[in-house]
Amino acid sequence: MFTGLITDVGRVVAVEGDGAMRRIVVESAYDPAGIALGASIACSGPCLTAVEIVSHRSGCRFSVDAAAETLARTTVGTWREGTRINLERSLRIGDELGGHLVTGHVDGTAEILSREEVTEAGSTWGASTRFTLRAPADVAAFIAKKGSVCLDGTSLTVNSVEGDAFSVLLIPHSLSATTWDERRAGDPVNLEVDLIARYAARLADSRAPAG
């Protein structure tokens, strides 16, 4: 379980394998002593298992395996040497829940439709950035205005919804502390809808009268 609050931006340093299974090596500032073999790490959204951890400079390099389903459903299949990814280690009992409950089970990819700078009158902290995205048709109904959504591992609040399109707003700090400043129109991002919305919809379906 995760919160969608990014704690490091890692860099892919090696990719091996094919469409059935790939081993990806990620360089991170994480202390290797704090990562157990088999630990779950959210890598730009998908929850992946650390299968090898080695010390490297002031941080570490950890390896994860991505199976065919992950490669097909997420952006992991496009990662190459040099790709930067948002990282979050799994939530521990007693940790602050600053974002929202995130499982790391990605529903699909959303496409960025536009990016625009938004400056509020009188602001001295710089412009925020609004991203408008299109959700996959089968999960669009789970996205609600003022609800939560996880995009590339980042917990964000939905500002507006119109059909299968929705928008989110990132403050300058969020841009600089994640990979979002690299994102442009046309880019795909990993999408996980809110866990509560998913279960609420399932409960409603189960109570609906049979046709």
Mean pLDDT of the chain: 93
Q: What is the pLDDT of residues 162-192, one digit of tens each?
A: 999 999 999 999 999 999 999 999 999 999 9
Same domain, 184 and 142: yes
pLDDT the model gives residue 94: 76
The predicted structure's pLDDT at residue 108: 97
| Residue 106 DSSP label | -
Active-site residue, from 67, 140, 144, 165 = 67
Residue 35 counted as domain residue: yes
Show the domain range for 130.
108-204
Q: What pTM does this model have?
A: 0.93
Task: Tell me the average pLDDT across 42-68.
Answer: 98
The reply to whether 151 and 181 lie within a common domain is yes
From 47, 60, 66, 135, the catalytic residue: 47
pLDDT at 117: 94
Active site residue 60: no
The neighbour count for residue 5, using CB atoms within 10 Å, is 21
Residue 72 CB neighbours (<10 A):
11
Report yes or no on 3 lying in a domain. no
Closest of 140, 141, 150, 162 to residue 204, by C-alpha: 141
Is 109 an annotated catalytic residue?
A: no
The answer to whether residue 47 is catalytic is yes
Catalytic residue, from 7, 29, 39, 49: name it.
49
Asked if residue 116 and residue 175 are part of one domain, the reply reads: yes
Residue 103 annotated in active site: no
The answer as to whether 38 is a domain residue is: yes
Residue 190 falls inside a structural domain: yes
- Domain edge (last residue) among 57, 89, 121: 89
What is the pLDDT, as a whole number, of residue 161?
98
Are both 124 and 190 inside the same structural domain? Answer: yes
Q: Are 161 and 145 in contact (CB under 8 A)?
A: yes
Q: What's the pLDDT score for residue 211?
A: 59
Position 208 scores a pLDDT of: 67
> What is the reported pLDDT for 210?
63
Structural domains counted in the chain: 2
Q: Which of 3, 28, 40, 167 is catalytic?
A: 40
Catalytic residue of the set 157, 176, 185, 201: 157
Please confirm, yes or no, whether 49 is among the known catalytic residues: yes
Q: What is the pLDDT at residue 197? A: 80
- How far apart are alpha carbons 144 and 87 in whole angstroms? 25
CATH of the domain at 178: 2.40.30.20
Instruction: Give the length of the chain.
Output: 211
pLDDT in tens, 111-127: 999 999 998 655 556 78
